[in-house]
Chain A
């Protein structure tokens, strides 16, 4: 289970708070917060502080998104972030690179070799 940022944003909006204000009041660093968002294992103390400020129970922050869907969403967010940092990159190139980086090197190499046998563009 992990934090659903959309749920956090909705709660912040309802309370007229910004994320920075919430984290400052809760004494949770931005690094720790983004760690909570990206990791599936929650840190109870940080969650307690955040839910205390928001006046909700921990379940109100948890995502019901399927892990596979979350993986794709996080990858797409990263693609957009990289496009923001490097406006001239092609999103497909970035996306395919990120997908390949999730695989072991040998699997990457064998995939490239298999595809290479069916194409004329090679090294």
Chain B
């Protein structure tokens, strides 16, 4: 029997709230890669928010009972509240200095009626290469193969 979904109603309600409040954000990292078909694993959903002080972001969080926790010391900012533990807030993406440029080139994917903006796989690869951490190096080959697979199957329906 399948285990319960980790990303379910509560998690989706946050993305819906971000959409309804027109918050400029992107899902990035391996969560975004997975949504594009990459056979990788992840433990969280990274959200790159253009401006954490944006009143729309604060309003979106409040509408679903989430709380913004500002970063302190070496701890990054976070979203608190039941059902939102999977989300991590990203302030900067290595190799991608301009949020607005990436947002304008976002790939939108529909999840249960919510239009979710993703960082395209090619940009995830760019960022992983720039970050160059050990865990980034481990997944680069997979991501590059996925990109080639997507190129080869563009416009084709899966068998």
Neighbouring B residues of A114 by C-beta, 8 Å: 3, 6
Give min CB distance, A80 to chain B, whole Å: 11
Q: A96 contacts B159, CB within 8 Å?
A: no
What's the Cα separation between A74 and B17 when bound, in Å?
41
B81 at the interface (CB under 8 A from A): no
What's the Cα separation between A38 and B157 when bound, in Å?
10
Neighbouring A residues of B159 by C-beta, 8 Å: 38, 70-71, 74-75, 78, 98
What's the Cα separation between A102 and B158 when bound, in Å?
6
Q: A123 contacts B37, CB within 8 Å?
A: no
What's the Cα separation between A76 and B109 when bound, in Å?
27
B22 at the interface (CB under 8 A from A): no
Give min CB distance, A107 to chain B, whole Å: 9
Neighbouring A residues of B109 by C-beta, 8 Å: 105
Question: Which A-chain residue is minimally distant from B39 (CB atoms)?
Answer: A96
B140-159: CB near A (< 8 Å → 1, else 0) gives 01100110111011001111
A77-123 interface (Cβ within 8 A of B): 78, 81-82, 85-86, 89-90, 93-94, 96-102, 105-106, 108-117, 119, 121-123
B31 at the interface (CB under 8 A from A): yes
Of the candidates B34, B86, B139, B145, the one whose C-beta lies within 8 Å of that of A94 is: B145
Neighbouring A residues of B3 by C-beta, 8 Å: 114
Q: B158 contacts A123, CB within 8 Å?
A: no
Give min CB distance, B11 to chain A, whole Å: 9
B120 at the interface (CB under 8 A from A): no
The main secondary structure of chain B at its interface with chain A is: mixed
Interface size bucket, B side? 35 or more
Given known pairs A82-B148, A116-B41, A123-B31, the reply for A110 and B6 (CB within 8 Å) is: yes
Q: A113 contacts B152, CB within 8 Å?
A: no
Neighbouring B residues of A81 by C-beta, 8 Å: 152
Give min CB distance, B13 to chain A, whole Å: 14
Given known pairs A93-B141, A108-B37, the reply for A121 and B135 (CB within 8 Å) is: yes
What's the Cα separation between A115 and B152 when bound, in Å?
27
Given known pairs A100-B38, A112-B40, the reply for A106 and B7 (CB within 8 Å) is: yes
Task: List residues of chain A with CB under 8 Å of any chain B CB.
Answer: 38, 70-71, 74-75, 78, 81-82, 85-86, 89-90, 93-94, 96-102, 105-106, 108-117, 119, 121-123
Q: Jot down 14 A-B pairs with beta carbons below 8 A, ordered by A.
A: A70-B159, A75-B159, A82-B153, A90-B142, A94-B145, A105-B110, A108-B34, A108-B35, A113-B86, A114-B6, A116-B42, A117-B6, A123-B29, A123-B43
Task: List residues of chain B with CB under 8 Å of any chain A CB.
Answer: 3, 5-7, 29-31, 34-35, 37-46, 86, 109-112, 135, 138-139, 141-142, 145-146, 148-150, 152-153, 156-159
